[in-house]
Amino acid sequence: MQHWKKGQQLHEGKYLIEEILGGGSFGVTYRAQNRKEGKLVAIKTLNAIQQGKPDFVKRQGKFMNEALCLAKCHHPHVVEVYEVFQEGDLWCMVMELLDGTNLAEYLEDNGILSEDKALPIIQQVGNALSFIHKQGFTHQDVKPQNIMLTQRGFEAVLIDFGLARQATVPGKLRTNSNSGTECFAPLELLEKRAEFGAYTDVYSLAATLYVMLTGKLPFPSQVRKENIPLTPPKQHNNKISDRVNAAIIKGMELEPQNRPQSVQKWLDLVMPKQANNEVQLVSVVGVDYRKLRDLLVAGKWEEANEETGTVIVNVVSIEQKGWVYKSLGNIIINDLSNSLKLLEKFPCEDLSTIDQLWVKYSNGRFGFSVQKRIYQSLRGTSECDNEVWERFGDCVGWRRNNKWQGLLYSCFTFSEKAPEAHLPSFCCFCWLWSKCDFFSRVETCGL
């Protein structure tokens, strides 16, 4: 059985083990240093108990399935997998090392959360699950222990796909060998044969919100099946709103067909869109978008464009990460590669807020999603094609006389008469230099 000690080198010396971070019934996770890149990572593999099982090969196959699932899920609220390699008889999954604490530990140390603090976390995890479902997977183990809260911006990151697997074909039954944590698991996870779907994760996410707001574990679904009703969360905490109380109960319906059939439909019950199509000024890092909104309402396009650059800088703390933002669109680049990596992690909630503001107050002419639509209409994809990029630049007015305007801020048009998708032109820099990386960020966030 393999157990790695401090100082041990893996993957031909690429990784240096520092310590064990923790483990569960299935895996163990180490903190290690990537000696080539000089950064810390987390390395997960099967623990000693699993290595001693007679069906070890089958269990390792399941572990590999988890790694492959995660490797396909590039999302700001899903833990990032860098690579998978084999060390002796063990497969190892190299992941980003998250700086923070899991939600279960946070609740234990700080007590229950208010709706104002809990709902943004649920929104982030919900967005991650929606993305996972679009890739054809279900998480099947959503619970506070598997939600990390990073120190930066109190962002939620979904981890540990210990039960993740390809979603079943509708109507097809399959043996389920793992039950997950019973208080968060719906009946279909606890029964031997079940159909899994997005509604499976809906139940677990609703149960997670139940605990966040009450500090109480809900009765397991198998107990409730014996005619023992779910205690309404508001009975534990009378500060819970009627809407959220009802949404949790609906999400935790015993029978899958009685729950919302997608995470987004459940989120709409929890957090309905504001009246009159008002844009919710959501930021997971605490950026204030009121000034940008007011400038766009007033039709002050140039000032709004500059403010867009400012809030983008604020979101990713660029002054500490390699960019310096000067006045009216002038940018000095100290570390381009680091800056582009930050774009890949730009929070979807913030990107969506900025986009919605531009789209709403330009009557649909400007915004990231408008730029994406035009780019795709030219048959642009995440695979970079210079000819497509040039046609895109011509269409939106970022190229003139076969030349990119780039950082020549004075060459842009700050008017409703500008070409469609011309603004925000601050992000011409993002599109021009990072090309498909920025498109991928917009695409991943579903704008």
Contact of 405 with 422, CB cutoff 8 Å: no
- Per-residue pLDDT tens for 205-228? 999 999 999 999 999 999 999 999
Task: Tell me how far apart the alpha carbons of residues 338 and 317 are, in angstroms, rounded to a whole number.
Answer: 12
Q: Where are the alpha helices (DSSP H) in 271-334?
A: 290-297, 301-316, 318-321
Domains of the chain: 9-96 (3.30.200.20), 100-272 (1.10.510.10), 290-444 (no CATH)
**With left for phi above 0 and alpha for psi between -120 and 50, is residue 429 left, alpha or beta?**
alpha
Which pair of tokens denotes residue 208?
Answer: 């997670």
Residue 262 has pLDDT above 90, yes or no: yes
Amino acid at 289: Y
- DSSP helix/strand/coil, 375: helix
- Per-residue pLDDT tens for 378-415? 877 766 777 888 888 888 888 877 777 554 556 788 88
* Residues making up the chain, counted from first to last: 447
Task: Tell me how far apart the alpha carbons of residues 247 and 268 are, in angstroms, rounded to a whole number.
Answer: 9
Backbone angles phi, psi at 365, to 5 degrees: -90, -35
Q: Of 31-40, 144-153, 163-172, which gets the smallest average pLDDT? A: 163-172
Taking each helix axis as running N to C, give the angle between helix 436-444 and helix 336-344, from 0 to 180 degrees, rounded to the nearest 10. Answer: 20
Say which residue, 31 or 47, is predicted with more confidence: 31
Q: Of 113-122, 160-169, 252-261, which gets the smallest average pLDDT? A: 160-169
Contact of 7 with 17, CB cutoff 8 Å: yes
Task: Tell me how far apart the alpha carbons of residues 1 and 28 are, in angstroms, rounded to a whole number.
Answer: 13
Q: CA dihedral defined by 367, 419, 313, 342, rounded to 10 degrees?
A: 70
Say which residue, 220 or 337, is predicted with more confidence: 220
Residue 364 has pLDDT above 70, yes or no: yes
Say which residue, 328 or 216, is predicted with more confidence: 216
Backbone angles phi, psi at 114, to 5 degrees: -75, 165
Residue 314 has pLDDT above 90, yes or no: no
Residue 28 has pLDDT above 60, yes or no: yes
Contact of 292 with 408, CB cutoff 8 Å: no
The secondary structure of 41-70 as a DSSP string is: EEEEEE-HHHHTSTTHHHHHHHHHHHHHHH
CA-nearest of 190, 356, 385 to 279 is: 356
Which pair of tokens denotes residue 408?
Answer: 């020549």
The secondary structure of 206-248 as a DSSP string is: HHHHHHHHHS-PPPPHHHHTTT-PPPPHHHH-TTS-HHHHHHH
345-373 core/surface letters (b: 16 or more CB in 10 A; e: else)? ebbbbbbbbbbbbbbbbbeebbbbbbbbe
Q: Give me the pLDDT at residue 336, please.
A: 45
% residues pLDDT > 70 (the chain): 80
User: For the residues 56-62, what does the mean pLDDT come to?
Assistant: 82
Residue 433 has pLDDT above 50, yes or no: no
Whether the ω angle into residue 424 lies within 30 degrees of 0, i.e. cis, is yes
Q: Looking at residue 78, what DSSP letter applies?
A: B
User: For the residues 152-180, what does the mean pLDDT come to?
Assistant: 51
Residue with tokens 């598997």: 146
Angle 200-270-234 from CA coordinates, rounded to 5°:
95
Q: Looking at residue 278, what DSSP letter applies?
A: P
What pTM value is reported for the model?
Answer: 0.63
